Amino acid sequence: MSKQRRDVRAFYVPINGPARFVHVPFHRYQVNGVTDICITDSTFAVADIHIGTEDVVIDNPPGPNGRVTRLTLFYFENEGVAHPNINVIEHDAGQVWFGEVVAVRRGITSGGVVNMRRGDDILVRRAIQQ
């Protein structure tokens, strides 16, 4: 089993400040394929939290002729933080959300993480709203 450390371009939706592209460290293990593990210690602004993950498939553009983009969202939710995330609003219920999100793109063939591309921030916002 080999292990490599690499930084991957991701999209970060913090509690404070603007949502933006960042580089997030990953460990890549190659056993029978590719397994990428996010190193979240330095990713989120809040320490000692439980990180959740969600795999999301987005049609890009929406509709039957769109291409599929696979994302993984790393997030935490905590109503104990000082204020809600100003970058994320649940439009349907008019509620706010307490937490942060880091999104990465998944490769089509390997399934491993790949660098985010220009315009992927729009896909991340759609994924968060799902």
| Token pair for 22 | 């960042």
Tell me which residue range forms the domain holding 81. Answer: 2-129
Strands (E), 2-130: 2-13, 20-30, 34-38, 52-60, 67-77, 89-90, 95-96, 99-106, 113-114
Assess contact for 11 and 116: CB atoms under 8 A.
yes
Could you give the count of Cα atoms lying within 13 Å of 42 in the half-sphere of its Cβ?
Answer: 6
Judged against a pLDDT cut of 70, whether residue 22 lies above it is answered with yes
Question: Domains in the chain: how many in total?
Answer: 1
More confident residue, 92 or 9: 9
pLDDT tens for each residue of 65-119: 668 889 999 888 776 777 777 777 654 455 677 888 899 998 887 778 899 999 8
Judged against a pLDDT cut of 80, whether residue 53 lies above it is answered with yes
What pLDDT score was predicted for residue 110?
73
Q: What is the mean pLDDT of residues 116-129?
A: 88
What pLDDT score was predicted for residue 89?
60
